[in-house]
Amino acid sequence: MPETSQRRPANTGSHQLPAGGGIDPHWHEEHQIVYAGRGVLSVTTDAGSWIAPANRAIWVPAGTLHEHRAYGETALHTVGLHDNPLNLHAPSALVVSPLLRELILAYTTLAGDADERDRMRAVLLDQLRRSPQRPTYLPTPRDSRLTAVCRLLQEDPADNRTLAELGREIGASERTLSRLCKTDLGMTFPQWRTQLRLHQALRLLAGGDSVTRVAHQCGWGSTSAFIDTFRRAFGHTPGSRSA
């Protein structure tokens, strides 16, 4: 049965989240697209966290236990989907084009007759299918040794100690931790640390911190290095309006 406005999922709509606010762990019977029209939003499951600036949306499959957290005053827009047009079975971050952004905002906020909503939804789904995935994922470690290392960096993202130095503090070898990063996190230690720093950078920028201050707080050696990493990850500079 095709999705129509008569079957509009209950988890479609929009509302405001205050800075630091959020939605406690919950799940939906339908799939969901989560988008922050303003501010920065994170979605966290037991597997890890995804973070979405203004040019990203997060796909949350049906039945996934997750929670939201807002950084800066955030306009939360959600689109519920009975079907799975993307054939994705795990959360993922999607690139939001200018057209897709306007479709999400309109569909979740504007009233209209059934035919108008059906047409808008059809175009929105077409745009979603064309949206490439871009990683904004920070996996959660499960091994206790790796958890201890990751906690040290979460407490201080600017900590520049090597994996060997961090391992000595928690009593594990660099070789063991490096192997655990690949098997437990699915990425190398430098990749995980960069993702952690980018997540923290988005949170701080949403709170109004300057680009220079964020670069320093998150451990980049220079502001230009931070800007370059940020641009490659999100497609725009940290000082742009999209951030």
Reported as a single tens digit per residue, the pLDDT across 29-48 is 999 999 999 999 999 999 99
Residues 111 and 201 in one domain: no
Q: Does residue 243 lie within any of the structural domains?
A: no
Residues 41 and 78 in one domain: yes
- pLDDT tens sequence across 213-241: 999 999 999 999 999 999 999 888 997 65
Residues 14 and 122 in one domain: yes
Q: Cα separations (Å) of 35 from 102, 219, 243?
A: 11, 28, 14
Q: Does residue 179 lie within any of the structural domains?
A: yes
Domain-terminating residue out of 81, 97, 129? 129
Q: Which of 48-52, 94-98, 133-137 has the lowest mean pLDDT?
A: 133-137
Residues 118 and 147 in one domain: no
What whole-number distance in Å separates Cα of residue 82 and Cα of residue 227? 39
Burial of 104 (0-12, 13-18, 19+ CB in 10 A): buried
Residues 80 and 165 in one domain: no
What whole-number distance in Å separates Cα of residue 186 and Cα of residue 176? 14
Domain count, the chain: 2
Q: Does residue 134 lie within any of the structural domains?
A: no
pTM, rounded to two decimals: 0.85
Domain that holds residue 86: 5-129
Q: Does residue 136 lie within any of the structural domains?
A: no
Residues 33 and 121 in one domain: yes
Q: Cα separations (Å) of 68 from 49, 58, 160, 202?
A: 10, 11, 29, 15
Residues 185 and 109 in one domain: no
Q: What is the mean pLDDT of residues 74-100?
A: 91
Residues 154 and 95 in one domain: no
